[in-house]
Amino acid sequence: DLESFFLAQQSRYAGQDGKAPALASVRAEVERDYRQMKVEDAYRRLVTQELSATDVALYPERMADK
């Protein structure tokens, strides 16, 4: 998965010369970005699942900062 993510996002990690670096040289950054993408995706799915549940009522007055 990590290698596929890197290949799809190579331009994101390109140096100033415009060349894509080897995965080994930017592995920590790629791992961080990949992990962040997975967390955001999981959170998005969780929110979608929770909001699609039946009998959900939101009370904005209870969400206000106190």
Give just the sign of the alpha carbon dihedral 25, 31, 20, 5: positive
19-30: pLDDT as tens digits: 989 999 999 999
Three-state secondary-structure class, residue 54: coil
pTM for this one?
A: 0.69
The residues, ordered by sequence, that sit 6+ positions from 1 with a Cβ below 8 Å of its Cβ are 34
**pLDDT at position 64:** 72
How far CA 47 is from CA of 43, 50, 51, in Å, comes to 6, 5, 6
pLDDT above 70: residue 52: yes
**pLDDT at position 66:** 55
For residue 39, the one-letter residue type is V
